[in-house]
Structure 1
Amino acid sequence: MAGGNLRLAEALAERLPGPVRTRHAVGRVDWTAESTTVKGQGFEVSGDATVVTVPATVLRDIRFEPALAEAKLRANRSVDYGHAAKLSVPLQEDAEPSSVMSVPDRFWCWTARGEGGAVQPVVSSFTGSAAALEALGVAAGAGLWLDHLAELRPDLALSSEGAVITNWDDDRWVRAAYSVELAGRACDHTGLVEPTGALFWA
């Protein structure tokens, strides 16, 4: 998406009657069959219902009162998550839109147009799975991944000193990348979406 995927969230937020509160971590949710109260440091919001959308990886950080039933907790534990990282490297020269995949090194990279139609001065690269992150040395920094990227894309003038790695495992609000379904391990979809009083799950 031109301008970044954040534009999608911003467009949705514009339709809401009130502002979206970012950087407001919820620590507790009190609920009954007919109402909820969401609490965090320095704020408290009450309403007829609450839609809980946090990843299953961080649900345990929120205190629910009364406590959630074991069936709901078990359903959340049935969700498996994948692992992914992104490498962004500034470019010293103009480039054309492109997309190239490295099969042996298990990552792909691309250059893309921005909001004004011009190609952005950056090459982005994405890899997924714990094994791929380990093979590219993501935990140790950008060095090894940069070497592979330079080998794959000799047509790009990389500005390596400006490289930035985003590892979703390090994000305190997610601690993983995306939910997955593993062969031989069932996810309890019904239990995940089953309402809990005035709590609804998405």
Structure 2
Amino acid sequence: MTEAVARRTNRRGQTTRENMLKAALTSLASGDPGSVSANRIAKDIGATWGAVQYQFGDADGFWAAVLHRTAERRADVFAAVDTAAPLRTRVASIIDTLYHGLAEPDSRAIENLRAALPRDHAELERLYPQTAAELHSWGQSWLQICHNAFAGIDVDPERVREVATLIPGAMRGLVSERQLGSYADLDVARRGLTNALVAYLQSPAQPHSDISVT
């Protein structure tokens, strides 16, 4: 194969790969449980299961690639957090960014994909090791984003970790309320969550042994 032919072949393969990932995100964002099918997505763009295997190895490799592509597309989402701003402004910025971002197509796509994957970590890691590794990477990246967002402020790193763990689930709840047409004032809810997190981050740290669990 000549170098020119090899370049054309590589470009075709890359185009096919990009089309598959784009089709996957579009299909998954529909919310249709049946969209979590690598074979169906391949058919949507006129490809075969063999083409998916050639590009990604298997469904696990395909879903891991979808997650990685989404992470790349959202890499700069939290760049707007002003690390020179007061604590309250930083917390509010994170909450507002998630509140609006979780309604975006990429977020809906990932929620649909996650809903179809095993809930049990051991089972997920056994059946979809690459996908599990990518999801774990997402969690580590999110924790680092939060630590970076609060850099330069005297807050307990353990409390930052706790807040980072809480925020995504809390925001999914508020976004769900918005989608269901809640009678609650969600602006008030976001303000209340911001106030609670700021108060917790600002309060003096206590030894973990002093915290009772009932």
TM-score clears 0.5: no
| Bigger RCO of structures 1 and 2 (CA < 8 A, at least 6 apart) | 1
TM-score, with structure 1 as normaliser:
0.24
TM-score, with structure 2 as normaliser:
0.23
Q: Which has the higher helix share?
A: 2
